[in-house]
Amino acid sequence: MDKKIKKATVFFYEPVYVKGFGSVVGKKEKESWLGDWFDIAFDEDLWGEKSWEKCERKMVLKAVEVALAKAGINENETDYLIGGDLLNQIISASYSARELGIPFFGIYGACSTMAESMMLGAMLIDGGFAKNIACATSSHFATAERQFRNPLELGTPKTPTAQWTVVGAGASILSKQGEKFYPKITYATTGRVLDFGIKDANNMGAAMAPAAAETIMIHLEETGRDISYYDKVVTGDLGKLGAGILFDLLNEEGIKACDNYFDCGIEIYKENDNMNCGGSGCGCGGSVLNGYFIKNMIEGVFKRILFVATGALHSPTSTGQGESIPAIAHAVAIETE
């Protein structure tokens, strides 16, 4: 693996606090062992809306509302909204931005979106351009399935390597000011796009694992940290197969990630045997980070985590044209004092 790329890690001299955090999930996700950590859960796929797409939009809005309330600020005090999702033209984020009225930067990083939004947000705050920034992302099984794969009505069986898109949204409010107990973003390592030739759109884990391995290795090398420095190294949604490949790739480089490794995609459907390789989607890492992790950091259970969100950057068109699946991974170090 080529590690000779130039410095991809930046350090934040000014504190960037995760001052607000909101998470919204669906029924299946609520039933998980992580369920109690989410702020809001709804029972049926549409949540009272007329389409799944509108439901996903509502999830983003609610996650941002909860996060803003916890941060004790309102939309007018929020300098920027940075967000994206899996849907074409990121309509969940764009239409939410319309409701919120906050100056908006739309981003697309597939399932790496939560990390991408947080690292851009942290740079804008440390750079002096903003006091408060809302970062948000979402995914919904039904909107993703019909866009990326097949209409649900077809009842297409899932292949063994497939993952299930999490019904979830997550939002963080990054802030220049905060109390000591709020987690802070300390480092951000931006990934580059890698492609290991995987062409099966039902095997995202394998496509994304090499990107995660490279970004983690670069992060450790550039920060001079050992992987054991972190209480948890948290990947977004590699799933069972992808996590295994990540372990192998890191092992080859002499990096042991075992006890402190956590994949949100594996954990969120852990008790459910029907979920193939686990969960996926921007909302998977986004909701688990802003639910389970940030809350446990504030309670002192975890002091240092490395959040590594991976994204598969293909489209149905690129797959249809025989292209392999490029992937990216961004790493954000979040720490309490």
Residues that bind its own copies (CB under 8 A): 5-8, 10, 50-51, 53-54, 76-77, 79-80, 84, 87-91, 94-95, 97-98, 101-110, 116, 120, 123-124, 126-129, 147, 190-195, 313-318, 321, 323, 326, 328
Q: How far is the CB of 166 from its own copies (least distance, A)?
A: 18
Distance separating alpha carbons of residues 94 and 78, to the nearest angstrom: 16
Q: How far is the CB of 231 from its own copies (least distance, A)?
A: 26
Dump strand ranges (E) for 14-73. Answer: 17-25, 40-41
**Angle, vertex CA 128, rays to CA 124 and CA 131, nearest 5:** 75
Please say which residue, 128 or 224, places its beta carbon nearer to its own copies: 128
Which tokens hold the place of 73? 């600020």
Please say which residue, 299 or 323, places its beta carbon nearer to its own copies: 323
Please say which residue, 296 or 324, places its beta carbon nearer to its own copies: 324
Distance separating alpha carbons of residues 76 and 67, to the nearest angstrom: 14
Distance separating alpha carbons of residues 208 and 225, to the nearest angstrom: 23
Residue 13's Cβ-count burial label (10 Å; 0-12, 13-18, 19+) is exposed
Q: Which of 330, 265, 322 is nearest to 135 (CA)?
A: 330
Q: How far is the CB of 244 from its own copies (least distance, A)?
A: 24
Q: Which of 40, 34, 118, 15 is nearest to 296 (CA)?
A: 34
Please say which residue, 39 or 79, places its beta carbon nearer to its own copies: 79
Q: How far is the CB of 59 from its own copies (least distance, A)?
A: 16
Q: How far is the CB of 98 from its own copies (least distance, A)?
A: 4
Please say which residue, 41 or 201, places its beta carbon nearer to its own copies: 201
Task: Tell how strand 40-41 and strand 17-25 pair up.
Answer: parallel
Please say which residue, 95 or 261, places its beta carbon nearer to its own copies: 95
**Beta carbons of 250 and 287 less than 8 angstroms apart:** no
Distance separating alpha carbons of residues 64 and 25, to the nearest angstrom: 13
Distance separating alpha carbons of residues 80 and 82, to the nearest angstrom: 6
Q: How far is the CB of 5 from its own copies (least distance, A)?
A: 7
Q: How far is the CB of 8 from its own copies (least distance, A)?
A: 5
Please say which residue, 7 or 180, places its beta carbon nearer to its own copies: 7
Q: How far is the CB of 76 from its own copies (least distance, A)?
A: 6
**Beta carbons of 169 and 138 less than 8 angstroms apart:** yes
Which tokens hold the place of 293? 């992790």
Please say which residue, 172 or 190, places its beta carbon nearer to its own copies: 190
Residue type for 91, please?
Answer: I
